[in-house]
Amino acid sequence: MNAESNPGANQAPAVDAIDAKALKLFAFKVWSYKMGEVVSLMIHLGDRLGLYRALHDAGAVTGTELAARTGLDGRFVEEWLLSQAAADLLTRHDDGRFELDALGAAILADEGGSVDFAAGAFAGGTHPDVVEALVRSFETGEGITYEEQGAVATAGLARMNAPRFRQALVSEVLPSFDGLTERLAGGTTLVEIGCGAGVALTTVAAAFPNSSFIGIDPSPTAVELARRQARDDGLANVTFIEGFAADIAEAVAEGRPGVVLAFDCLHDMPRPDHALTAIRAVLADDGMLLVKEIRCTGDFDRDRRNPLLALLYGYSVASCLQSALSEADGLGLGTVGLHGDRLTEMATAAGFGSVTQQDLGEPNNLYYDIRP
Ligand SMILES: C[S@@+](CC[C@H](N)C(=O)[O-])C[C@H]1O[C@@H](n2cnc3c(N)ncnc32)[C@H](O)[C@@H]1O
């Protein structure tokens, strides 16, 4: 078909007809994303090589001093420091020394002490084989599972979520649900579906030795990491099982769980509706289902108030929607697809009686307390 037979074709204005300033601004916006990709790699290197940790509390240092502290090559360390100063992630003083201030340390260095630690989310890029699989998904409509997204992604996701789980789940999140900590302290069975590498579950299991815990996830890599975490933490009250949420009844051999957790996973499931039905069938009649989902409204224009919305949609195309379309009958909700109204509708259809939203002030997440 040529342009004459397709009047819509070739209608983009010639480049010299475009406002030159607008063109530059648009190009700058696009190159800023490229800069983000490259700075992300620098953050990965800084985290992986221990450069941020060595800068933490070191005061102002030269590149040579930082190289000596880390045992790394001086010229590469100097250039990396300049890249970080250029990205405004650390300060370059007039005397040429570099310093990571308290804010930078909280976000980039202090993994064990800062709930806002973020450098763990910078896993170093997407494996080329996974990129090829993403291309194929657009051609076939069939997504890839979390397992197929690769071991680096599985471990990276666990590390990304760990600071909040390790430092706020037991002290801040659980106590905001009516009766939950009392129930766990007294002794109950808690099942977590879509538990990933088990960071949340091992944290809760360590805090409540009277209760028993079962984690379920279809990813063998995630389950293996979770089992290793439980062994490292010396936990005898937690079991991890490879399986789907819809098979929760088989995982819970006896009794009915008093608590089920579904953290950041329902929107990833091809059939969250089936999962909710299966959970309702096993949950004790006085039990509770706690859901953590992405903060979203179902309205794109309202969701745009989130300045990180493009990050969420990117995660969706590359990860969550992939998983949600990894089976032929997948609903394909994606990262920003399970808002409160939709979750309420699904939970009600699955036989639950009440859904209460809990906003704990986390920028990208909301919680829901769902009861029979
Ligand atoms: C974004 S990760 C969240 C992991 C963990 N809950 C967390 O918050 O870090 C989503 C998890 O859901 C799991 N998942 C996907 N489909 C599932 C299904 N049908 N049943 C149970 N888990 C599923 C994936 O394997 C993955 O580990």
Q: CATH no. for residue 338?
A: 3.40.50.150
Q: Specify which residues 118 forms β-bridges with.
A: none
Q: Which domain holds residue 92?
A: 15-121
At 106, which CATH number? 1.10.10.10
- Tell how far the Cα of 262 is from the centroid of ligand 1, in angstroms: 8
Is the Cα torsion angle 48, 53, 55, 56 positive or negative in sign?
positive
What pLDDT score does 368 carry? Answer: 98
Indicate the pTM of the whole model.
Answer: 0.92
For 167-183, letters b (16+ CB in 10 Å) and e give bebbeebbeebeebeeb
Tell whether the model's pLDDT for residue 13 goes beyond 70: no
Rounded distance between C-alpha atoms, residue 276 and residue 283, angstroms: 10
Residue with the two structure tokens 């996701």:
157
Structural element, H or E, at residue 167:
none
Give the distance, in angstroms, between the CA of residue 168 and the centroid of all CA atoms in the same chain. 16
Residue 20 and residue 83 in one domain: yes
Is 4 a domain residue?
no
- CA atoms of 9 and 11, how far apart (whole Å): 6
Q: Which of 149, 225, 248, 265 to mutate to test the pocket of ligand 1 (most atoms within 8 A of CB)?
A: 265
Same domain, 33 and 136: no
Q: How far is the CA of 346 from the centre of ligand 1 (A)?
A: 18
Ligand 1 close to Cβ of residue 315 (< 6 A): no
**Same-domain check for residues 261 and 337:** yes
How many separate domains does the chain show? 2
Q: Assign residue 187 a region: left if phi > 0, alpha if psi is -120 to 50, beta otherwise?
A: left
pLDDT tens for residues 122-131? 988 899 999 9
Asked whether the predicted pLDDT for residue 225 surpasses 50, the reply is: yes
pLDDT tier at 217 (50, 70, 90 boundaries)? very high
Task: For residues 300 and 233, state if they share a domain.
Answer: yes
Confidence of residue 11 (pLDDT cuts 50, 70, 90): low
Q: In this predicted structure, what is the pLDDT of residue 168? A: 96
The pLDDT confidence band at residue 15, using thresholds 50, 70 and 90, is low
Q: Is the pLDDT of residue 8 over 60?
A: no
DSSP state of 13: P
